[in-house]
Amino acid sequence: MSMITAAQWVPRGFAAPFPQKYTLDEAEYERIAGLAKLQLDDAEDDLREARDGSDKDGDRDGEEQDKMQVEEGKLSNRSKVDDDDLKEYDLEHYDDEEDEPQGAGQGMSMFGNIKSLAYYESNKEDPYITLKGDEADDDEDREDLQILATDNLILSAKVEDELAHLEVYVFEDEGDNLYVHHDIMLPAIPLSLEWLDMPVGNAGSAKDSTGNYVAVGTMDPDIEIWDLDTIDCMYPNAILGQGGNADAGETTKKKKKKKKKAKKANDEYHVDAVLSLAANRKHRNLLASASADKTVKLWDLNTTKCAKSYSYHTDKVCSLAWHVTEPTVLLSGSYDRTIVAADMRAPEAQVPRWGVESDVENVRWDPHESNCFFASTENGAMHYHDIRNAPSKPESTKSVWTLQAHDESVSSFDVNSVVPGLMATGSTDRTVKLWNITPTGPSMVVSRNLDVGKVFATTFAPDAEVAFRLAVGGSSGSLHVWDTSTNPSVRKAFAQRLPARADEVVGDGLIAVQDDDSSSSDEEEGDDGSEREDGDSMDED
């Protein structure tokens, strides 16, 4: 089984030109040792609890103990046999020469031909001497890792068989090339990603300091933060949650066990899967997280502690989005079929709330109209709301417009921040659709099956130079980048909004495909020149 659960672009200019390979110093060793000890103690607690739970079957326990003793005896006997076998070869005196020639006096008769040593020392072409090419190899490796200023990174959360990892892609726009630069092993199935542009855990750092990090939410309640400019890291740079106090000696075993058993939602950390993450681009030290434990939490990245916890919803909170111009307003969507736009400074009882017909999948603010937001639902609908028309109660919600975008769940969508009115929706019905959002409502421009399976990730590139590039991933485990500007209908609808890029290229437009055998199919044009696909309709209130 292979599947991509989430994807996100990294803007140009933040990645280090030459990422560094991980090196283990003394301080890092102590930190990792503390983390490893915490995991080992937790594993021992699990084993102990499992054994305690099986005490009712005393005979079975006795048999297991007998087996363990037998195995220990076998290992002990085997060790003795191995020692006896090794004594036969007298390895301790292997270098001692009994029949040493008189006058040698150096105990090096095995190297009797000194001339051969001199020959190999001076022979520049000796095949066993590789020091000569080490510097060249290092330069070649360094060049392979280089990230140009014109490159974008794409982060892909992937599950393959029973392994979970984060793949860091490099997208070279000039050559239409996409490849995996490096990857990061994750402890559990990843569910959400959020790129961070500041160093984490540096309370005394300058406010304008920048970094290149990613926060990862998984089926575990902890949020891991990794440095994207360091390769082959063993552990995350920071952990937000119960595992955040894993430094050696900081947490006693008693406290760890107490934390481990805590399953009730609280104000300090999540106790269930982290479904969504949202970084505040104005107050850069703030990261919001949404969890299956029904809470929204606000984290201070300088201290890596939870600053505030909110209980706006009565079911799993699945999506978050900070307001574009009002940095204290956070949008949240939940399986309780409501959407909340809350000012983080206001009491929870005063938040406006909108209702929808089924479980919320994703929410986004309109980057070109600050008073409006989008929401997708499990039954395939898209809703557009104006916060100035907040209902008195969720049941009386009236949207600006409602669109039946897909036959199945709209599992992902994105609104282009550079090209006004361009929206992409991805669904579990395996299609990706592009929409033209106008004052009168949305109209479909094109629909495609990109052969990524059920679509779980749909995201536009953030930079103007690659604004029409759309990254798509899904249940097939492959990541595609679609240059949507190569489509005639897209150029016709949006050429006047970004003419410099819209008319530059022609062709299929499906570029940088991870799997060479993959292709797109089932393309249909929309309202900009031909009939719309059956089932796509719009209702205006």
Tell me the pLDDT tens digit for each residue of 29-62.
Answer: 676 777 777 778 878 887 887 887 766 555 555 5
Q: Evaluate whether 313 touches 355 at the Cβ level (below 8 Å).
A: no
Mean pLDDT of the chain: 80
d(CA 143, CA 181): 12
How confident is the model over 325-377, as pLDDT tens digits?
A: 999 999 999 999 999 999 998 877 789 999 999 999 999 999 999 999 999 99
Alpha carbon 136 to its chain centroid, in Å, reads: 34
pLDDT band at residue 116, thresholds of 50, 70 and 90?
very low
pLDDT tens column, 131-184: 545 555 555 566 677 899 999 999 999 999 889 999 999 999 888 899 999 999
Q: How far is residue 532's CA from residue 445's CA, in Å, rounded to a whole number?
A: 8
Q: Which CATH superfamily is domain 2-26+144-540 in?
A: YVTN repeat-like/Quinoprotein amine dehydrogenase (2.130.10.10)
Is the pLDDT confidence value at 519 over 70?
A: no
pLDDT digits (tens, 9 = 90+) for 394-445: 999 999 999 999 999 999 999 999 999 999 999 999 999 999 999 889 999 9
Single-letter amino acid, residue 63: E
Confidence of residue 453 (pLDDT cuts 50, 70, 90): very high
Q: Domain limits of the chain?
A: 2-26+144-540
Question: pLDDT tier at 509 (50, 70, 90 boundaries)?
Answer: low
What global pTM score does this model have?
0.75
pLDDT at 270: 97
What average pLDDT score do residues 58-84 get? Answer: 55
Q: Decide if 216 contacts 239 (C-beta within 8 A).
A: no
Percentage of the residues of the chain whose pLDDT score is greater than 70: 70
Contact 171, 151 (CB under 8 A): yes
Which amino acid makes up residue 128?
Y
| Residue 429 to residue 298: CA distance in whole angstroms | 34
Distance (Å) of CA 200 to CA 166, 275, 304, 507: 19, 21, 8, 43
pLDDT of residue 138: 56
CA angle, 327 as apex, 326 and 333 as ends, to 5°?
A: 90
Beta-sheet pairing, 455-460 with 329-334? unpaired
**Better-scored residue on pLDDT, 273 or 207:** 273
Q: Name the helix (H) or strand (E) containing 29.
A: helix 26-53
> Tokens standing for 410?
């709209």
Q: What distance in Å separates the CA atoms of residue 213 and residue 207, rounded to the nearest whole number?
A: 16
- The pLDDT tens digits of the residues spanning 229-274 come to 999 888 899 999 988 754 433 433 434 444 454 578 899 999 999 9
Mean pLDDT of all residues in 121-136: 49
